[in-house]
Amino acid sequence: MSERLQPGDPAPAFTLPDADGNEVSLSDHQGRKVIVYFYPAALTPGCTKQACDFTDNLELLAGAGYDVIGISPDKPEKLAKFRDTESLKVTLLADPDKKVLDAYGAFGEKKNYGKTYLGVIRSTIVVDENGTVERALYNVRATGHVAKIIKDLGI
C-alpha cells in the first residue's frame, strides 16, 4: 500500500488500456491539466453517478484546460460496456493489476460495516500541465464531487 500523494509531488507516470484496448499514457496529456479519478467498479450506482457527472461537465472542464481520465480495476471490455450503456465521454482506463491505483494511493484499507478490507479508495488527483500534483483528494463522495471540484478549481 503506497502513500497518498500530496500537492507538489510528481504525478506517477502510467500507460493503461482504454475501453477499446488502446494504450493511453499520462504523458499524452503533457501541456494540459488532467483530472485523474479512481473509482471502484464500472456499472455500479455510485460510480455511474460520478462518471455521468464528469461527462455532463466535460465541456466546461475541457474549456478550462482540463482533460478527465477515470481509472478502475475493471477490464477494458467492461469499461466499453459502461461507456456505451451510460453514453460516457470521459476516457476510461483499465488497471486490473492495480499498479496505478497503488502508485496514486487509491488502493488500500477500507472499512465497511465494521469490516476492514482492501479496495479502491474513491480518489481524485488534479495534475498540472507539468505533471505535478496540484490537488489530491481521497475518500471523496460519488455524488456532488464534480461540482465541488469545479468550485474549488474556480471554473
The amino acid that residue 17 corresponds to is: P
DSSP for 56-77 reads HTHHHHHHTTEEEEEEESS-HH
User: What is the pairing mode between strands 66-72 and 91-94?
Assistant: parallel
Is 47 tagged catalytic? Answer: yes
Place of cell 495534475: 127
What is the spatial distance between Cα 129 and Cα 36, in angstroms, rounded to a whole number? 13
DSSP for 16-53 reads EEBTTS-EEEGGGGTTSEEEEEE-S-TTSHHHHHHHHH
Nearest-CA neighbor of 153 among 134, 139, 140?
134
From 47, 69, 88, 133, the catalytic residue: 47
The catalytic residues are 47
